[in-house]
Amino acid sequence: MELLKQRIEKDGLALNEHVLKVDSFLNHQIDPVLMQEIGKEFAERFKDAGVTKILTLESSGIAPSVMAALELGVSVVFARKRKSLTLTDDLVTATVYSYTKQESNTIAVSSRFIKKEDTVLIIDDFLANGEAAKGLIEVVESIGAKVAGVGIVIEKSFQPGADEIESKGYRLESLARVESLKAGEVTFKDEKAEVVK
């Protein structure tokens, strides 16, 4: 997605070889116009996948997911990273390790909102080691629902998550694929498809 890659080149910051900071438009400050375009791109790529629900993880996945959901005419469910007192019933959980935060979280989804009849598009802001995406897939499959695919805003292709998810046969659509962050430079991998210009 050209608009996103331009924005990463302009405002993204390669802090080191592993960390790309995009907190000026995606995961602390949010540009709603860019989110709308990202939502349209996800919707276009998955329009024939029969999506009935989008599943994401709080917090940075919510904005792109809501915009994609608006385009696809479905609802979003965001997995919570821990249990709150008013969200106690019928929880389906998975354990997700965050390399960034160096901690494990339980992610939880109510089975009242994802049913075995659903076809679920999983959306997240980043794909690195794939821990979050794999946790969300685990949740969907333990409910018995179908995974339509995984939509990622920024894939760090030099980390193992993308290969791992594709090798398991899941459809993966990453809107920007970062090949390297060496020497403070963001280098993109060629995109597989460019649907919305």
At its nearest, how many Å lie between a copy of itself and the CB of residue 104? 15
Residue 47 or 112 with smaller CB distance to a copy of itself? 112
Q: Which position among 77, 120, 147, 148 is part of the footprint of a copy of itself (CB under 8 A)?
A: 77
Is 20 known as a binding-site position? yes
- Residues with Cβ within 8 Å of 35's Cβ and at least 6 positions away in sequence, in order, are 63, 64, 66, 67
Q: Which position among 21, 146, 171, 189 is part of the footprint of a copy of itself (CB under 8 A)?
A: 21
Residue 60 or 174 with smaller CB distance to a copy of itself? 60
Residue 46 or 78 with smaller CB distance to a copy of itself? 78
Q: Which position among 63, 107, 147, 153 is part of the footprint of a copy of itself (CB under 8 A)?
A: 63
Compute the distance between CA of residue 193 and CA of residue 67 in angstroms, rounded to an integer.
Answer: 20
Is 105 known as a binding-site position? no
CB 120 within 8 A of CB 52: yes
Three-state secondary structure call for residue 138: helix
Tell which residue, 126, 100, 102, has the closest CA to residue 178: 126
Stretch that binds a copy of itself, among 44-52, 79-87, 138-146, 154-162 (CB under 8 A): 79-87
Compute the distance between CA of residue 33 and CA of residue 94 in angstroms, rounded to an integer.
Answer: 32
Number of residues that bind a copy of itself (CB under 8 A): 39
Report the C-alpha dihedral over residues 20, 26, 27, 30, rounded to 10 degrees.
Answer: 150
Residue 122 or 172 with smaller CB distance to a copy of itself? 122
Stretch that binds a copy of itself, among 16-24, 115-123, 173-181, 189-197 (CB under 8 A): 16-24
Compute the distance between CA of residue 134 and CA of residue 142 in angstroms, rounded to an integer.
Answer: 12
CB 127 within 8 A of CB 152: yes
At its nearest, how many Å lie between a copy of itself and the CB of residue 74? 8
- Residues with Cβ within 8 Å of 101's Cβ and at least 6 positions away in sequence, in order, are none
The amino acid at residue 58 is E
- Pairing between strand 172-180 and 187-188? antiparallel
If binding is defined by CB under 8 A, does position 75 make contact with a copy of itself?
A: yes
Residues forming contacts to a copy of itself in the complex (CB under 8 A) are 15, 19, 21, 23-25, 28-33, 35-36, 58-59, 62-63, 65-67, 69-70, 75-78, 80, 84-87, 100-102, 109-110, 112-113
**Which residues carry a binding-site annotation?**
20, 27, 128-132, 156
